[in-house]
Amino acid sequence: MINLNNMAFTFVAFAYILALILTALLIFFAIWHIIAFDELKNDHKNPIDQCNSLNPLVLPEYIIHGFINLLFLFGFEWISIIINVPLLAYHINRFRTRPVRDGLGLYDPTTIMNQHELSTATREGWIKLGFYMITFFYYLYWYYMSAAYFLRLSSQPIIFEPISSATSVFYDKDNQQLFAVRGSGAMGVTMKDRNQSYTFRLEDKGAIQSIKFNPDLSVLAIKRSSNSVEFLNFQPPPASSPTTILKLPNVISLQSDSIEYSQISKSKNSKLYDFNWLNEKEILFVTDQSVEYYQLLAEKRILRQMKTFQFPNTNWQLFSRDIGLLLISHGLQSGNSFTPLSYARNQLFKLPKFEVDLPQSIQQQQQQRSNSITSQQTNLRRIELTERDCALAVLYDKVYLLVIRQVTRVPGQGSLEVVLYQIEEDRPAQKRHILRLNLHGRCALNVIDNLIFLHHQTTKQTYVYDIEEKSTSENDGFQTIHLPILNQLSIQPQIIDRQLLSPSVLSQQTSSPLSSQQNIELYSSNWIVFLPNVIIDVKLGCLWYLTINLDALLDIVKERILLLEILLRRTNGKSSILMLLYTLLTSVIAPVQIDSTLWTGEQTAAGIFDLWLDMIHRINNVYIEITTSTPSLTNRPLLEQTDVFTVLCLFETIVPTSTSTTHSLTINRSSSINSTDDDSLTSTTTTTTTTTTQCLNKKLKFAIAIVLEYIRSLNNFNIPIQHFLYDLLVNLLIKNKHFYQLQQLIQYHVLSDSKSIACLLLSLSSKHQPTTQIALDMLKRLNTANEEILEILLELNLIIPALHFSVEHLPINFQLARKLMDAAIKADELLSNNASNQNILFYTVYTYFDDYFQQQKQGPSSTITSPQSTPTIGNSRNNELDFFTTFFNQQFQPKESDFSNIQ
């Protein structure tokens, strides 16, 4: 059964579901085609009537089939295109060579009754019907496969020789390397990691129990016996980098020096469990009595013992090199007593010892309730904790021990618990979290991006936990109990090319050898799971990395706030958050684009507005916490104003309807339409236009409110606001003609001063007169735009205010005098039709500068020469001061002594 709750729709999935619908229509066409020609063959229909019913269906069929191929082309579904290309080519050729040239049909009534034509057309119908039926189920399968799942296996698995009598397989979870050892190494060893494969050979010195490389692949450690480890030096492989990885061969052959050296455990009569590389030159031996710390001197082929920690009765160990922690289970046979060893700053030291709780069996519970002496003396068997039930993980920068417990509360019923113990340096580990699941049976864990994935084998489902999510947790005063944030998810179905599998795997399978692909059994009993995200199928010989698709959560999680909180805690959640915000706002701006089922209870603009307020508050809160360097938030997405602005740019697509355009509608109608029909049509048109305008105005008001609230939220968190947000708000206010609101926002400094906003305000002067003065005041407050203010005043022909402003805020010089006098002459020209105007602006400016330069005691002889001719205003001005002096002389005929002070 397909669980649609686990799936999100991509374009490819949309293409296949549309192809399914259209193919069903093509099947109907094919059936109608067969029935029609069967009726002709049996003389049940007239050829002319039958051709008239068949020919109109030809072109729609061809167009539909071509459109399906176009969808696959846009989705890069090349296999589906190749399947359809032969039929597409046949359709093109059939239509190009059609006998009926004066129409779009294929069938001619004069030739359709020909026996050859009838048999050919009937055969074509049956072939098409079969083809469409096959492709229908093919599209259905690929629609299911192409739907976006939250959980996915890596598309390119690591293929290895599966476990057999001749092949042993080992996995090093610290280096993430998989070893396939054939014939104890004598037949070859293949080692694979994410990017590369390596091969080498070993001498057959007995069965290999464990094999691991050091981090730089220069030394190989091999455990063949119960008390020693052999070492073999290798030449380092060529370093891989983004520029060289494509040049490396598919398989690199590693060369050893063929001289093995060994180290025997120093503890007498001890059994060596395993060994762990701390780094390239340091290694730990874990025995049943102690932990031995060695330094490797590869050049000398010796190991130097650095330190030994005694742990009597060691049961097993957990190690993580990334965390720098070794956890030893020792002492009690139940395996629930632990001592951590931490490796940091090239030092290995003990951490406080602790014990974990074990669930009691039903037999223990019943016997503990009994007061009989016999029951008290009975030696009860305790449940043992094994390495398989435990894991080390880092969640939100804290180290935890994860313990899986099968809890039996009622006879015949049970549940699962994953208990998280936080490991700290200064005190014993404490129980912090409990993950509960009301299911019983085998399970496994993965940890990806601080999310815990619990795979339940019996139900073949995955449950997701987030220990930071408050809505699905409850604190009992001691620890926090969590329920899944995502329930009953499934991993995306996976197929694999059979040619990639090992021949031994293919020989054991019973599937058809003609099939080129094979479905992967999900949640198989052959799966072995390693943290953080490794899944190995030991029978099939495949290793996958489990990945998550955050975009799929947009369709899976219906609660928008919960979804936002989940995404805000994910490292790569930024793009999904922006898509969530975009979808939220689009549901108001363009509701036809949104699946309404996703917005149950939140479809109104008011509900969406409230959601926006809550989301923006949470986003800005995380932004502040990240920028203040909170350690636990360093891996969270940082949404800056530029990111949110890309979503708010959606509002720029709202185009206001012009009033003039509304009233310029012309309707052509014949003279037979009476006045009543005219009035009715005019009324209908007016009503429709009014409704459209009202809807548009509501959208603009909604957009303004959204941007305003975002700016307000930024102010509340003391985040400096970028100018482009103000520009967007001003543009929206202008579109909606909210000039008074714009004026109030600027007056009360809701909008910060900027030159770009001032320019926008100046462009509104013809629509709202006060915006000019508001823009000038804004530029004045900036204290960096005095030249721009002067230019604006001169452009508005405000000569006297420009003169006053220049005197107060600009240095007086000859260039400024020329600029103002030239502007005064132009302004006087505009006022020349006024009889009372006698070049008064020029006179005022000229006399001011005359007085100013006189006070500065500068004579005219150094700057102005006597005019040789009498120029006019339109002449070329080689010396503008000469022109202004001459012009003043012409207009006002002053005495020559009056010019003596102008330079």
Give per-residue pLDDT as tens, 354-373.
Answer: 999 886 553 354 444 444 33
Closest alpha carbon to 393 in 503, 467, 490, 495: 467
For residue 858, the SS3 value is coil
Query: How far apart, in Å, are the Cα atoms of 232 and each of 165, 172, 189, 211, 226?
Result: 25, 17, 14, 11, 18
Closest alpha carbon to 106 in 40, 54, 53, 64: 54
- Residue 617: the pLDDT is 93
With beta carbons less than 8 A apart as the criterion, state whether 620 and 717 touch.
yes
Using CA of residue 621, residue 626, residue 627, residue 630, what is the dihedral sign? positive
- Residue 825: the pLDDT is 80
pLDDT band, very low/low/confident/very high, at 846 (cuts 50, 70, 90): confident
Residues in the chain: 903
pLDDT digits (tens, 9 = 90+) for 169-183: 999 999 999 999 998
pLDDT band, very low/low/confident/very high, at 544 (cuts 50, 70, 90): very high
Is 537 part of any domain?
A: yes
pLDDT band, very low/low/confident/very high, at 863 (cuts 50, 70, 90): very low
- Cβ burial 51-85 (10 Å sphere, 16+ → b, else e): beebbebbeebbebbeebbebbeebebeebbebbe
Instruction: Evaluate if residue 621 carries a pLDDT over 80.
Output: yes
Q: Which residues pair with 308 in a beta bridge?
A: 292
85 lies in the same domain as 205: no
- Residue 872: the pLDDT is 34
pLDDT digits (tens, 9 = 90+) for 454-463: 999 999 999 9
78 lies in the same domain as 139: yes
Is 88 part of any domain?
A: yes
pLDDT band, very low/low/confident/very high, at 761 (cuts 50, 70, 90): confident
User: SS3 helix, strand, coil % of the chain, rounded to 5?
Assistant: 45, 20, 35
Token pair for 894: 């002053």
167 lies in the same domain as 99: no
Which H or E run includes 284?
Answer: strand 282-287
- Non-local (6+) Cβ contacts of 796 within 8 A are 772
Closest alpha carbon to 190 in 136, 279, 250, 277: 250
β-pairing, 290-297 vs 282-287, is antiparallel
Is 114 part of any domain?
A: yes
CA 141/CA 138 separation, integer angstroms: 5
- Final residue in a domain of this structure, among 108, 131, 149: 149
Category of 590 on φ-ψ map: left (φ > 0), alpha (ψ -120 to 50) or beta: beta
**Whole-angstrom Cα Rg for the chain:** 42
- Residue 655: the pLDDT is 54
- Final residue in a domain of this structure, among 355, 372, 394: 355
CA 634/CA 627 separation, integer angstroms: 9
Among 164-178, 320-334, 606-620, 810-824, name the one with the lowest average pLDDT: 810-824
- Non-local (6+) Cβ contacts of 477 within 8 A are none
Look up the domain containing 878 and give its range.
797-903
Of 869 and 602, more confident? 602
Query: 248-254: which pairs have CB atoms within 8 A and are 24 or more residues apart?
Result: 248/196, 250/197, 251/190, 251/197, 251/198, 251/199, 252/196, 252/197, 252/198, 252/199, 253/198, 253/199, 253/200, 254/191, 254/198, 254/199, 254/200, 254/217
CA 155/CA 520 separation, integer angstroms: 12
Of 899 and 567, more confident? 567
CA 213/CA 230 separation, integer angstroms: 12
- Residue 55: the pLDDT is 78
141 lies in the same domain as 163: no
CA 625/CA 633 separation, integer angstroms: 7
The total number of structural domains that make up the chain? 4
CA 328/CA 335 separation, integer angstroms: 9
Which H or E run includes 101?
Answer: none
493 lies in the same domain as 345: no
Is 667 part of any domain?
A: no
Mean pLDDT of the 23-31 span: 86
pTM: 0.72
- Non-local (6+) Cβ contacts of 542 within 8 A are 157, 158, 159, 160, 496, 501, 520, 536
pLDDT digits (tens, 9 = 90+) for 222-281: 999 988 999 999 988 776 554 444 445 578 888 888 889 999 988 878 899 999 999 999
- Non-local (6+) Cβ contacts of 41 within 8 A are 118, 122
pLDDT band, very low/low/confident/very high, at 888 (cuts 50, 70, 90): low
Closest alpha carbon to 884 in 793, 832, 786, 814: 814
- Residue 372: the pLDDT is 38
Q: Which residues pair with 354 in a beta bridge?
A: 338
- State which of 231-245, 677-691, 741-755 shows the largest mean pLDDT: 741-755
Is 698 part of any domain?
A: no
Count of Cβ atoms closer than 10 Å to residue 290 Cβ: 20
Instruction: Evaluate if residue 591 carries a pLDDT over 90.
Output: no
What proportion of the chain, given as a percentage, has pLDDT over 90? 25
Is 351 part of any domain?
A: yes
Burial of 675 (0-12, 13-18, 19+ CB in 10 A): exposed
843 lies in the same domain as 866: yes
Of 876 and 219, more confident? 219
End-to-end C-alpha distance for the chain, whole angstroms: 96
- Cβ burial 862-899 (10 Å sphere, 16+ → b, else e): eebeeeeeebeeeeeeeeebbbbbbbbbeeeeeeeebb
Instruction: Evaluate if residue 666 carries a pLDDT over 60.
Output: no
Instruction: Evaluate if residue 547 carries a pLDDT over 80.
Output: yes
pLDDT digits (tens, 9 = 90+) for 410-454: 555 678 899 999 999 889 999 999 999 988 888 999 999 999 999
Of 660 and 134, more confident? 134
CA 160/CA 191 separation, integer angstroms: 9
Is 371 part of any domain?
A: no
- Residue 383: the pLDDT is 53
β-pairing, 480-482 vs 430-437, is parallel
Instruction: Evaluate if residue 859 carries a pLDDT over 60.
Output: no
52 lies in the same domain as 113: yes
Mean pLDDT of the 646-659 span: 68
CA 762/CA 728 separation, integer angstroms: 16
pLDDT band, very low/low/confident/very high, at 871 (cuts 50, 70, 90): very low
With beta carbons less than 8 A apart as the criterion, state whether 38 and 121 touch.
no
Of 508 and 25, more confident? 25
166 lies in the same domain as 129: no
Is 48 part of any domain?
A: yes
What proportion of the chain, given as a percentage, has pLDDT over 70? 77
HSE (CB half, 13 Å, CA atoms) of 903?
Answer: 14
- Residue 677: the pLDDT is 46
Among 314-318, 695-699, 793-797, name the one with the lowest average pLDDT: 695-699
217 lies in the same domain as 322: yes
Return the CATH number at 200: 2.130.10.10
Closest alpha carbon to 211 in 226, 230, 186: 230
- Residue 102: the pLDDT is 58
- Residue 279: the pLDDT is 92
Q: Which residues pair with 715 in a beta bridge?
A: none
- Final residue in a domain of this structure, among 149, 181, 212: 149
Instruction: Evaluate if residue 896 carries a pLDDT over 60.
Output: no
394 lies in the same domain as 535: yes
199 lies in the same domain as 324: yes
291 lies in the same domain as 143: no
Angle at 30 (CA atoms; ends 27, 32), nearest 5 degrees? 110
- Residue 750: the pLDDT is 78
